[in-house]
Structure 1
Amino acid sequence: MDQVNRMPIVVGGMVLDIHATASVPSSSKSTTPGKIEYMHGGVARNIAECLLKLGTKPYMISAVGYDMAGILRGRDLKTAVVCNMFDVDGELTAGVASVESIEQYVTPQWIQRFEPIVRSAPVMLVDANLSLEALSASCRTEFGVPVWFEPVSVAKSKRVASVTKHVTFASPNEHELVAMAEALTHGNVFGPIQWVQNKNSGSIESLFKELKPAILVLLDKSIKFVLVTLGPQGAILCSRLGPTSLNECLNGAKIIDARSELFEAVTGRCPTHRYTSSTLHKRGSHPFAMHFPALPATVGRVSGAGDCLVGGVLASLCSGLNIMQSVAVGIAAAKAAILVKTNVPHQYDLAALADDAGAVYNAARVVFQESQL
């Protein structure tokens, strides 16, 4: 099979990002001195760029306008734009997104034009910038391709309700997780997350206890792997499947290159036997949760870290690494993104990335495992 027909598919936002970073503490209702930068952005586009820089060539489906930011242009649409505001420490304080063109022009008809390529893909990522109709078209059962749902925001994460039965992976942060669970249960049954207000004093176990009801909703709705991203606290991987069951979700025949540079760099530092013993059950309906800690880093900007985490996981899965190794690589890829001012690093040092992944992998631990008895 031609390698071009075995690329992971990425469907969603290709955006012009405007980053406004204050150089002094900002004041409300007043302008603040600082720096304004333009760069390529969009959740799906950032993930696709990360994939490419980690050695996995993706196939992206999106739309941009015939305007200043346009690349592949349509005369009747405007390129999606997001304006993010950061404080002096590089932390996001507010943002405004104008991405209606993605919903309007990435249509079911546009997506269906790429059906032969989609059918041959090992995995498809869809971001929630897509309309409900486009999400449904992307997740068609007859494609036979596992779907990764990236929620994008609290408001848009609720769109998962229209495609849940087709989703294999989901990567919400804690707030998006709760919003998704509420959408799937048709009610506001989950309270605010108290742990977030006391991050320095709360344990990961206490956070998981708060998130567990929402996580179980997603798992009960047939989502096989839920990766809850926690910013400086890392991520929690939750599933009812054991770590060695991932190949049942991905079609191994569609994996791009099981001996890529990424694969070779990571396997030596993240030995597979660590999580193939009785530490975690291999299969069944008993949920487990594994915490992968974040790595210390000096913050340049956090805007692309979550996207690079997902991109790192996807690139690793496509290279033949297992889910535990892949999440460790994702955390390492996120660290590299935090260190820079761009959404995605200009390049990745695979040796350094593998070293960081090894540190995360060896520090990962089970925070919950339901008894099999």
Structure 2
Amino acid sequence: MEGAQRRMGTIARHLSDSTSLHALAYEHSQHNRKPGDKVPVVIGGMVLDIQATPTGGRLLRGSTTPGEVTFVRGGVARNVAENMALLGARPFLISVIGDDVAGESMLNHWKSLGLSVEGIRRCTGITTPVVSAVFDKQGELAAAVADTYAIEERLTSEWIKKFEDIIKRAPIVMLDANLLPPAMEAACSLAKEANVPIFFEPVSVAKSVRASKFLNLITYTSPNEAELVAMAESLLQDRKLEKRLLDHEVPAEKNLKEPAASLWRMRHSIRALLDTGLDYIILTMGSHGAVLCSLSSTNPQNFRTVQKNSPSRNIENDSGISFLHFPALPASISNLSGAGDCLVAGTMVALSSGADVSSALAYGVSASKWAVESDSNVSPNLDQHLVSGKLFLMLNLRCLALSEAFISMMKGWL
């Protein structure tokens, strides 16, 4: 017990001295920004979300279920960028909208945030992208239909290249998978020329595979379990490789609990993606939080501080992958649809400040608490001071403490 207390004291001192994250609210203050400053770039969809949630019992297939229907400003890229703005950053959004009421509303809202609309292409004669989603009574997505053809047709390589200078000056560039592969690859190539790290958000299972041919250009990606497996299977299919990517049952002798059991099942998929040259996978696991995955052989500098000052450490296994687990914070769940976008936003804000990837992900997981407690895609209660203050410190202490138990669950791999 005394040894554990010493370790936790060391962690607390290390985290309280990490001013680059503790002072994010001030470093990224909109009032301190000047023209020409480096700003994070977010490229992807601005979407009108039509969200339906039952107010009573379960959803009734083939019938009408009483509930609430709301119209919400959405789109992965737009959500991420607005969350970043609430956390004190000034992201530059590159997107497209139609010349309709939905597009006008989104444009006016963006102006009200004090953010540039220069990168938002408004096209005549098209409708703003729309996603119609139905949630179950637990707040989980039950089904959705997306009409995002405007993004695919009008958010082109040519439009993205208009902002080459801004992209090449950015501390980080995020792409969402609403873009078609040629547009994504063009953006990746511009960023890579200037050694700007690239963050890929897979959006959905169907769209996650769009980046499979140029994962070597990408630094970070944030799939859920289904998206990760789809990306890996697409990658191996393209290369005409045959490999068993998913073991559906964990052998009893492994005695693994979640999330370790899921990682065991997905280890081949994770390895396949990392072998392309992709640096980090931020695997989002719902109520289990997120797991940071990288190749053990990389021996990333970003993990060294965590390894030295905490019970958490690289977990090497027979797949040659390192894992670092970040449990989700306790929350009163209202709607889960915006949690992933908020996690990405928080992580990107921290990375933009120069934070290491493990600290940045802890900040992102902390920020996502506000998303699940809000009915909106972007929580109006998201507050940069709270996320970067005591709650962030508590999250790190909790993550690192629980990682010791996580390591114990992984002993069967070693």
Q: Does the TM-score normalized on the shorter chain lie above 0.5?
A: yes
RMSD of Structure 2 on Structure 1 (CA): 2.7
The answer for the alignment partner of 2:343 in structure 1 is 309
| Richer in helix (by share) | 2
1:280/1:296 Cα in 2 relative to 1: closer, same or farther (>3 Å)? closer
- Give the CA deviation at 1:277: 5.1
Separation in 2, partners of 1:4, 1:231: 38
Q: Determine which of 38, 55, 59 is the counterpart of 2:71.
A: 38
Does 2:281 align with 1:244?
Answer: no
* Aligned-partner residue type, residue 390 of structure 2: D
CA pair 224-3 structure 1, distance change in 2 beyond 3 A: farther
In the alignment, the residues of structure 2 paired with residue 303 and residue 82 of structure 1 have an alpha-carbon distance, to the nearest angstrom, of 12
Moved more, 101-110 or 5-14: 5-14
How many Å separate the matches in 2 of 1:7 and 1:179? 32
Equivalent residue for 1:97?
A: 146
SS in 1 for 2:359: helix
- Determine the structure 2 residue equivalent to 1:117: 166
Deviations 1:186-242 (A, max 9, x none): 1684347568xxxxx933222211121111111111000110000111011011344
Tell me which residue corresponds to 2:213. 162
- 1:204 corresponds in structure 2 to 259
1:77 equivalent to 2:126? Answer yes
Q: Aligned pair 1:7/2:42, yes or no?
A: no
Secondary structure at the counterpart of residue 219 of structure 2: strand
Q: Does the CA-based 8 Å contact 2:51-2:132 persist in structure 1?
A: yes
1:68 maps to 2:112: no
What TM-score do you get using the length of structure 2 for normalisation?
A: 0.76
TM-score by length of 1: 0.84
Residue in 2 aligned with 1:220?
275
Output aligned runs, 1:257-268, within 5 Å.
Answer: none
- Aligned counterparts of 1:153 and 1:190: Cα–Cα separation in 2: 19
Where 1:178 maps in the other structure, the secondary structure is helix
Offset, 1:68: 1.9
State the Cα distance separating 1:301 from its structure 2 match. 0.5
Answer yes or no: is 1:229 the counterpart of 2:284: yes
Confirm or deny: 8 A CA contact 1:13 1:129 kept in the other structure: yes
Equivalent pair of 1:182/1:189 in contact (CA under 8 Å): no
Q: 1:96 is aligned with what amino acid? A: V
Match of 2:11 in 1: none
User: Which residue identity is paired with 1:125?
Assistant: M
For residues 55 and 242 of structure 1, what CA distance do their matches in structure 2 show? Answer: 32
Count of aligned residue pairs for this structure pair: 339
The reply on whether 1:358 has 2:393 as its aligned counterpart is: yes
Q: Tell me, what secondary structure is at the counterpart of 1:227?
A: strand
Give the CA deviation at 1:243.
5.2
One-letter amino acid of the counterpart of residue 214, structure 1: S
Find the aligned partners of 2:248 and 2:202 in 1 and give their Cα distance. Answer: 18
Query: Please, which runs of 5 or more residues in structure 1 have no aligned partner?
Result: 196-200, 247-271
Structure 2: gaps of 5 or more residues: 1-32, 108-119, 251-255
Aligned residues of 1:83 and 1:96 also touching (Cα < 8 A): yes
Tell me if the contact between 1:20 and 1:85 (Cα under 8 Å) persists in the aligned partners: yes
Q: 1:147 to 1:343 in 2, by over 3 A?
A: same
Q: Say if 1:243 and 1:275, in contact at 8 Å, map to a contact too.
A: no
Whether the aligned pair in 2 keeps the contact of 1:242 and 1:280 (CA below 8 Å) is: no
Q: Tell me which residue corresponds to 1:255.
A: none
Q: 355-364 or 174-183: which moved more?
A: 355-364
Q: Is the 8 A contact 1:23 1:87 kept in 2?
A: no
Q: Distance in 2 between matches of 1:106 and 1:81?
A: 15
Give the Cα separation in 2 of the matches to 1:50 and 1:192.
36
Q: Which amino acid aligns with 2:84?
A: L
Which has the greater radius of gyration?
2
